[in-house]
Amino acid sequence: MTNHSDNISTADKKSLASALQLKYKEQEDFVSSVFLGLKVCFFLLSIVSLIKIGYSSKVRLSRFKEIQDSYLFEKSRYESLSSRFDDLISFEGQQRFMKDQDQIISKDIIRVIWR
């Protein structure tokens, strides 16, 4: 009888061990699938973040280009006005200014020049 009970307990132990291995394998597969899901989510999040960063960089660069063009235009305008002002203050600048005014005022308008 002892031999029969040893056989039963050995078979029970084997089935219990295989059941535990199967349960452990199922848990391991579940944990692996959860981690795979997390990896996929983080990958998608990084792709979306890179797209957003690229778009915002493009917008910033276009704004920078617009500001730079505006600055260069105003700088050239300032330089031309500054040189005209310097010409006005320089020696015989008043005569040059009056010559410029003659060209600006149309021919059919009466001009009065005070001296």
Higher pLDDT, 53 or 108: 53
Distances (CA, A) of 9 to 20, 21, 67, 77: 16, 18, 85, 100
Quick one: pLDDT at residue 28? 94
Distance between CA atoms of 15 and 2, rounded to whole angstroms?
A: 20
pLDDT tens digits along 27-55: 999 999 999 999 999 999 999 999 999 99
Condensed to tens digits (0 to 9), the pLDDT of residues 59-104 reads 999 999 999 999 999 999 999 989 888 877 777 776 777 666 655 5
Q: Which residues contact 113 (CB under 8 A, 6 or more apart)?
A: 98
pLDDT at 22: 87
What's the rounded Cα separation, in Å, for the pair 39 and 45?
Answer: 10
Give residue 75's pLDDT. Answer: 96
